[in-house]
Each structure stands twice: as structure tokens, then as C-alpha cells.
């Protein structure tokens, strides 16, 4: 995406809806330009009538007119800025909402392929660059551009020869702005990347704070933190250095221009070709024009920063999901709950050559428990995640009761599936809201019942505020087992027909595991259940067990059959017997 396309998209999708406010701000900018120009123009009659001709008739009128001109300029500029700040903040809000919506609906694989710190930088740093462009750059171009045109008109009216000398600096200023703008675009992209790196590091720092303490890595992290901050500081300093680089150039050009003008205008005044009052009016207009030229030199930098940010943001807003919602398609209708994998292959987009699943065919019987066994990384969790369409096959298909899930509405599929994952995810909210997340419309009594079934009641009753207790970021105030039980309570509350258990008891002690296992037995009763467990004791009663290795099914059968016919399964079992 180039800057031209980014600019058109910003206008079409975001700023266009505020066009009335922008037009009003533009009209106020015209008033600012006219009032600024009138200040320079008023010096001509002021000097001629009052100081040279000593005319008393204008001694009060001209000062009042100057006060009115300055007041009009100040008020018009205030309201114009107020309008554009309002527009820019509205655009900022809409952009951030659109980006967050895009993150929420994005395919899981897309989110996993980019660190959350980078996304946070997009939402904050990049959007701020666009906001600055809208609130400052647009108004500056309009206000200072029109002011410059008006003042040039006054200058040419007073003396066209001097005006030609004065405008020599404008092409130099334009060239300077263009060069600095290109440089700024590159550096602002680098600064955004460094901002993303710092955000990423901060997230890792908070997430792994306990590990840092245990392994006494504070000094190492102090050094690392300084490196991340220093890299961002260097890029930020470079941005500011580029931003002010136009100042010495403009000062030198202005000094040369004023020196030439004084020399040449002196000759014109001595020869009688230029009146002193017209010279002072011209000089005032030229000095007032200096600020707009200087500002316009810098504004190109802000525009390039904003458009570079838009180039990074708009592709995020435009993210298209490969896993479509299919809301217009038929709903999934579950009768038996039989799940079938037909020659399914899967690879992550980031590594297509590495096949995670290789031509897998599986059958999970409805209302029965089926287990998946295998080494870590063999593809078991991927199989589970393909059932609710978190991932989609590269080829092959998955059916539930003979219905191809890729052709069913996504909401109807996920409505019938609950998953209890080994990595329990909780929100920084109350206990009751975390459980209710599975079914927001559930009554409190339903939540209490689900919590009781999941063996949560005892530890919840011991919390300071019971179900209203805040549990901290990702449940930091709870133990691993307590977090796992809240996850199980969600599954009880949802009452789905398909239950997926991925190491559901991995964080529990032996005593708690026994209690939870009873709860899981009730949860999975007469449900299609697929279990992943390293502890084979939890899956001995499964109706069928698949042994997965390196993305392939190498054995299947009951526990007794596999002990006889599967070397890998027998090896797993014997190792666990020895451990116990």
C-alpha cells in the first residue's frame, strides 16, 4: 500500500463522515489568513496618515482595527483547532475500535504469528501519528497556506520587485520539506518497530516476573530493559532531529533574504521609488509570512509520519479471515455427535513445508470418550483445535454427523463445543464474570451450580469477596488448580454436546484430581468427548485411544489392545507405572 492509497482510505473510511466540521474549520482558517494579512496592510495607512502626515482622524480607528484583527485571528484559530482536535480524536477512536474488532475476529494463527506488543504499538503509536496529522497538519496547511497567499498579495501590492526577491526562499523551503519528509517516513517506521519491541518486552517482563526472581536475573533484565528503551530513545531523538533540521536552513535563507531586501529597498527609498510607509507594510507582511513558510516546511514531516502509520494500520483493519463465519449457511444439527476426520492435512501458514498433520483419518463416536496419546508436538492439540475450526485443514475435511463443518455456520459449531485447555485463560475480572463468560445470560444460580460441580465452591468461599473477588491478570491470585477448575466450571455452564479436554487435570494435585475426575465424568456423561492426557490413568476407560506420532495415527484401539499391539503405547504405560 502506498501513501496515496492510504490517504484516500483515511478520507473515505474515516474523515469523510466529519466533512461538515472540516469545512467549518477551513472557513475559520480563511478568516485567520485574512485577519493576519489585514494586520500587515493596516501598517501602510497607519504610518502614512498618523506618523508621516500627522493625521488625527485615524489615530483611534487604526489601533481599534488592529485589535479587532488580532482578536478575530485568535478566536478563529482557537475554534478551528478545537474542531480539528475533535475530528482527530473521533477518527482515533474509530480507528482503534476497527483495529480491536479486527484483532478479535482475526484467525488465531494470524494473532499467534505477531507478538501482542507489536499490535499494542499499532493501536497506540501509529494511531497517535495519524491523530497528529489530522489535528495539526491539515489545519496548518490550510491556515498557513492561505495566510502565506494573503501576505504575498500584500507584498506584491506594495512592491512587486521586493516581492520577487522575497519569494526566492519558497522553492528552497519546498525542496527542504520534501527531503526531510522522505527521511521522516523511514525513521518513523523504525521508531514504531522499536516501540513495538519495548511493548513486547514489557509484556514478557510482567508475565515472567516470578521467573526473573527465581533465577536471579534482575541485573540481566536491567541491562536488557535499558537496551530496549535506548533503541526507542535513539529513534525518537532522530525523529525530533529531522523535525528541527529545517530550522537552521530557514534561518540562513531568511537572513540572506532580509539582508538583500534591506540593501535593495534602501536604494529604492533613496531614489524615491519606494515610500517609507509601503516599505514598513511590506516588511511586516514579509516577517509575518516567515512563520507560515517555516511551519509548512515542518508539516510535510508530520504528514509523512501519519501516512506511513496509515500504511501499517489499514492492512490490519482490512484483515480477511480464511476461516469464514458462514453465517448465511445452514446451522450444524447434532444428533449423535459423531466426528470424522477424512484424510486431513495441516500446516501453519508460517511454515507450509512442515506438515503438522499428515493425511489423518479419525472417527470419534458420539456420546463416547475417545483419547489421543502421543509425545508433545505430535499434533494432538492441533486435532482438537480443528473441531471448533480454530484451524482449518489444508486439505481433507472434518464432519460432524455427516455435515462438513467448513460449510456450516461457525457460530452453530462453536455453540456445541466446550474446551478445557491445559493453558487456562482467565480475565482480570471477578470470579463470577469469568465463569459467566461461557454463558453471559446465565443466572447466578446456574453459575453457583456449575462452580459446585467443578469443585470450585470451597476455594471461592474462602476468597475475601467470594464470587465477586477480582482474580488479577490471567488469574494471578489463584493457584494453577483453582484456575483449571474455573475453566471446568465454564464447560459445565455452557452445557455443550461436544467436550474437548486438553490436559484438563494437568495442574491438579492427586487429591484434587480425583475430585475433578468425578466432576469430569459427570460433565462428559452422554457427550462426545475427546481427551488428551499424559497421565494414562485418566483415559483407561476411553472407548477408543488413538496413538499419534509426528502428525500421523500409528495405532488405535482400547487400552488392553494397545498394551498388546502398540510398542509406543506400551512404552508410555510402563514408564508411568515405574514412576508411580
Q: Which residue has the cell 514579509?
A: 286
| 357-364: strand order across its sheet | 357-364, 339-346, 395-400, 403-404
- Pick 323-416+528-580's CATH classification: 3.40.50.300, 3.40.30.10, 3.40.140.10, 2.120.10.30: 3.40.50.300
CATH superfamily assigned to domain 3-187+244-317: ABC transporter type 1, transmembrane domain (1.20.1560.10)
Q: What is the predicted pLDDT for the residue at 386? A: 93
Contact partners, residue 570, CB within 8 Å, separation at least 6: 562, 563, 564
Q: What is the predicted pLDDT for the residue at 506? A: 62
Q: Measured between alpha carbons, how far is 67 from 394 in angstroms, rounded to an integer?
A: 74
Q: Measured between alpha carbons, how far is 559 from 541 in angstroms, rounded to an integer?
A: 8
Q: Measured between alpha carbons, how far is 381 from 374 in angstroms, rounded to an integer?
A: 10
What number of H helices and E strands is found in the chain? 22, 10
Looking only at the bridges linking them, the beta strands covering 498-502 and 528-532 are parallel
Each residue's pLDDT, cut to its tens digit, for the chain (580 residues) gives 677 888 888 888 888 889 999 999 989 988 988 888 888 787 777 776 766 677 777 778 888 888 898 899 899 989 998 998 899 889 989 998 998 888 888 888 888 777 777 788 888 888 888 888 888 778 788 888 888 888 888 878 877 777 777 777 667 766 766 677 677 667 877 777 788 788 778 877 777 776 777 767 888 888 888 888 888 888 888 877 776 776 677 777 777 777 877 787 888 888 877 777 777 777 777 777 777 777 776 677 778 888 888 888 898 888 888 888 888 899 999 989 999 999 999 998 877 778 899 999 999 999 999 999 988 889 999 999 999 999 999 999 999 999 999 999 999 999 999 988 877 788 889 999 999 988 989 999 999 999 988 888 888 989 889 999 998 877 888 887 888 888 889 988 988 899 998 887 665 666 767 777 777 787 888 889 999 977 777 788 889 999 999 999 999 999 999 999 999 988 888 887 655 5
Looking only at the bridges linking them, the beta strands covering 357-364 and 339-346 are antiparallel
Q: What is the predicted pLDDT for the residue at 48? A: 67
Q: Is 47 within 8 Å of 41 (Cβ atoms)?
A: no
Q: Name the DSSP letter for residue 498.
A: E
Phi/psi of residue 129, each to 5°?
-65, -40
Q: Measured between alpha carbons, how far is 144 from 153 in angstroms, rounded to an integer?
A: 14
Looking only at the bridges linking them, the beta strands covering 403-404 and 498-502 are unpaired
Phi/psi of residue 408, each to 5°?
-95, 160
Q: What is the predicted pLDDT for the residue at 20? A: 92
Q: Measured between alpha carbons, how far is 143 from 120 in angstroms, rounded to an integer?
A: 34
Tell me how crowded residue 320 is: count the other CB atoms within 10 A of its CB.
Answer: 9
| 369-373: strand order across its sheet | 417-420, 498-502, 528-532, 369-373, 544-549, 552-557
End-to-end CA distance of the chain: 60
**For 232-245, b where at least 16 C-beta lie within 10 A, e where not — what string?**
beebeebbeebbeb
List beta partners, residue 373: 547
Q: Within 13 Å, how many C-alpha atoms sit on residue 551's CB side?
A: 13
Q: What is the predicted pLDDT for the residue at 312? A: 86
| Domain boundaries of the chain, sorted by first residue | 3-187+244-317, 323-416+528-580
Looking only at the bridges linking them, the beta strands covering 544-549 and 369-373 are parallel
Task: Find the length of the chain.
Answer: 580
Q: Measured between alpha carbons, how far is 296 from 497 in angstroms, rounded to an integer?
A: 65
Amino acid at each position: 500500500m502506498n501513501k496515496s492509497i492510504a490517504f484516500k482510505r483515511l478520507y473515505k473510511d474515516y474523515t469523510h463522515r466529519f466533512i461538515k466540521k472540516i469545512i467549518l474549520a477551513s472557513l475559520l482558517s480563511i478568516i485567520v489568513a485574512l485577519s493576519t494579512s489585514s494586520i500587515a496592510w493596516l501598517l501602510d495607512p497607519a504610518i502614512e496618515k498618523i506618523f508621516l502626515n500627522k493625521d488625527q482622524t485615524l489615530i483611534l480607528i487604526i489601533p481599534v482595527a488592529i485589535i479587532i484583527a488580532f482578536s478575530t485571528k485568535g478566536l478563529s484559530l482557537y475554534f478551528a483547532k478545537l474542531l480539528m482536535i475533535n475530528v482527530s480524536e473521533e477518527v482515533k477512536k474509530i480507528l482503534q475500535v476497527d483495529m480491536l474488532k479486527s484483532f478479535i475476529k482475526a484467525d488465531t494463527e494470524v494473532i499467534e504469528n505477531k507478538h501482542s506488543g507489536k499490535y499494542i504499538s499499532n493501536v497506540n503509536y501509529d494511531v497517535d501519528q495519524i491523530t497528529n496529522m489530522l489535528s495539526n497538519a491539515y489545519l496548518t496547511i490550510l491556515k498557513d497556506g492561505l495566510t502565506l497567499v494573503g501576505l504575498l498579495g500584500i507584498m506584491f501590492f506594495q512592491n512587486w520587485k521586493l516581492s520577487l526577491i522575497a519569494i526566492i526562499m519558497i522553492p528552497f523551503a519546498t525542496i527542504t520539506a520534501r527531503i526531510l519528509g522522505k527521511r521522516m517516513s523511514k525513521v518513523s517506521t523504525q521508531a514504531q518497530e522499536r516501540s513495538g519491541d519495548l511493548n513486547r518486552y514489557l509484556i514478557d517482563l510482567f508475565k515472567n516476573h516470578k521467573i526473573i526472581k527465581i533465577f536471579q536475573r534482575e541485573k540481566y533484565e536491567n541491562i536488557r530493559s535499558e537496551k530496549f528503551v535506548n533503541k526507542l530513545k535513539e529513534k525518537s531523538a532522530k525523529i525530533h532531529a529531522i523535525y528541527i533540521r529545517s530550522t537552521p536552513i530557514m534561518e540562513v535563507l531568511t537572513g540572506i533574504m532580509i539582508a538583500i531586501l534591506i540593501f535593495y529597498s534602501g536604494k529604492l527609498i533613496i531614489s524615491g521609488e519606494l515610500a517609507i510607509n509601503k516599505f514598513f507594510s511590506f516588511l511586516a507582511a514579509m516577517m509575518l509570512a516567515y512563520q507560515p513558510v517555516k511551519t509548512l516546511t515542518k508539516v510535510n514531516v508530520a504528514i509523512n509520519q501519519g501516512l506511513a502509520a496509515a500504511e501499517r494500520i489499514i492492512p490490519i483493519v482490512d484483515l480477511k479471515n480464511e476461516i469464514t463465519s458462514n453465517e448465511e449457511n445452514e446451522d450444524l444439527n447434532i444428533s449423535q455427535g459423531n466426528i470424522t476426520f477424512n484424510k486431513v492435512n495441516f500446516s501453519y501458514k508460517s511454515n507450509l513445508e512442515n506438515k503438522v498433520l499428515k493425511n489423518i483419518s479419525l472417527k470419534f463416536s458420539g456420546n463416547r470418550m475417545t483419547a489421543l496419546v502421543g509425545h508433545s508436538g505430535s499434533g494432538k492439540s492441533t486435532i482438537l483445535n480443528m473441531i471448533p475450526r480454530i484451524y482449518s485443514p489444508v486439505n481433507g475435511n472434518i464432519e460432524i454427523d455427516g455435515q462438513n463443518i467448513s460449510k456450516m455456520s461457525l457460530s452453530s459449531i462453536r455453540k456445541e463445543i466446550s474446551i478445557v485447555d491445559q493453558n487456562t485463560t482467565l480475565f482480570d475480572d471477578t470470579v463470577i464474570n469469568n465463569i459467566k463468560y461461557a454463558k453471559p445470560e446465565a443466572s447466578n444460580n446456574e453459575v453457583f451450580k456449575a462452580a459446585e460441580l467443578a469443585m470450585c465452591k470451597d476455594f471461592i468461599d474462602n476468597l475475601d469477596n467470594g464470587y465477586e473477588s477480582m482474580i488479577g491478570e490471567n488469574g494471578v491470585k489463584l493457584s494453577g488448580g483453582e484456575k483449571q477448575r474455573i475453566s471446568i466450571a465454564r464447560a459445565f455452564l455452557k452445557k455443550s454436546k461436544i467436550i474437548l479436554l486438553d490436559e484438563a487435570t494437568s495442574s491438579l494435585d492427586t487429591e484434587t484430581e480425583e475430585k475433578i475426575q468425578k466432576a469430569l465424568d459427570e460433565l462428559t456423561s452422554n457427550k462426545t468427548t475427546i481427551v488428551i492426557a499424559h497421565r494414562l490413568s485418566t483415559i483407561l476407560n476411553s472407548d477408543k485411544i488413538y496413538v499419534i506420532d509426528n502428525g500421523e495415527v500409528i495405532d488405535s484401539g482400547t487400552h488392553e489392545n494397545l498394551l498388546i499391539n502398540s510398542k509406543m503405547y506400551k512404552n508410555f504405560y510402563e514408564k508411568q507405572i515405574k514412576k508411580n
